[in-house]
Structure 1
């Protein structure tokens, strides 16, 4: 598989006459160490966001997928066929190696504790990432944790650091062309109850502090 995958990437680069390959995927979260082993010169950008806002965004996306799949049977079939279960009617948590935690999250969702379930999911995924970066010093050097808030508040500075980390050329021109477009969303805001905010804080406080977030 490893030889095939490397050759597959090389083929894509050759077919397009390019030198760099960009991969964005939620399921890469549990594969970063393995991908780093396969491609030691790869660079990783790991985005993170304030858990309250991130959970609100995840729940909104999940709702939209559910609505779309209810109105189109083929949509659900397609998502299953391509192996994407992040959102929608066949929602399945990414297993980061703790089957018991995955079961807890599923039980919370089934019991109607959606917010707490998503909060525990957030903590599980980012806790796994924090541990992985701690255990893998060479991966830690190859990875940049990028806070969404920093990208919106200081887009030129944050984009510049990202470009340097990835070894990309023509950074100044690219940053100047795109930095002004980066801003927090204005089309929705979290509308959690006090009880739900307390649940998010309880579930995410420990891991959130690792990434510089304080419970609200």
Structure 2
């Protein structure tokens, strides 16, 4: 958690801007003989938070019934994500960044408990994370969120406006406070080779200090 101090327009008010930092990795999922893949052990990516899932089928040959959902937006494509929940890697990265603001990690036992109760929608996990944030830091307000998505497919530029709008509603922010970029990674990683999706999220929050 990083902090910076600035003076507001009202000279009697000071603002602390806090940046949530965190990181999440998912190991390479072993594929069938003859298939190619990658192992991300030892790979470090700097950013507020990174979440990755891989486009593989489940053990029984099925696939996640949600297909591909990013930032709460369902995307029609042949890329299927394996996950216990809806596998929304954008929201998962956002949740981990919220934890980086000074909250206990939510993805893990709390999210697993909801999942076992049949709650698969990552937007519910996000709402609970924000509630916990307000309980722990009642004067802290998220003011900006920036996302960088790495994936060869699907092509996301047509979906970015809807994703920004969805995130703005979920965070109760103006759409101008949500930034999303997408890159293929030039094939330098598994995500860039079409084997999964990686998301880095940087959150900025503001707290008014009474001094």
TM range (shorter): under 0.3
> TM-score, normalized by length of structure 2?
0.25
- Richer in strand (by share): 2
> TM-score, normalized by length of structure 1?
0.25
Larger radius of gyration: 1
